[in-house]
Amino acid sequence: MPKSVLGKLPDHASASIYISCVDTVAARFEIAEIIQEISYGRFYHNQPKYWMDFGNSKNTGQVLLSTVGEIKQQKSEQYETVAQLPLVTEEFGDFLSQSEITDDTPSCSLA
């Protein structure tokens, strides 16, 4: 694993769910890279399972739940289960990259 990615996390920073709320596309892609890197080579109980990403604009907001890899689901007669939910950067990567070019809204940290 590249030390540049893992060096950004403190020791014992593993969790089952990661929650992010950032205001730059670059930060989302960096989080995705870190989560994917730490998901390899760890014991099963220490692997990240979910990433919940919150976002907002001036008048709207959204949250996207992703799985980190596949998570086996129980069979259900009532619901259609899925083993993997795409990362926000996989599902909306092109849109995110384009929005950063066209969006001139000030950072929420500016407020």
Mean pLDDT of 93-106: 69
Query: Greater confidence, 97 or 77?
Result: 77
Mean pLDDT of 51-66: 86
The domain in which residue 64 lies consists of 3-102
In angstroms, rounded to a whole number, what is the distance separating the alpha carbons of residues 63 and 40? 25
Query: Greater confidence, 91 or 65?
Result: 65
Q: Domain tally for the chain?
A: 1
Structure confidence at residue 25 (pLDDT): 83
Q: Is the pTM of this model over 0.85?
A: no
Mean pLDDT of 59-88: 90
Is position 69 within any domain?
yes
Structure confidence at residue 2 (pLDDT): 43
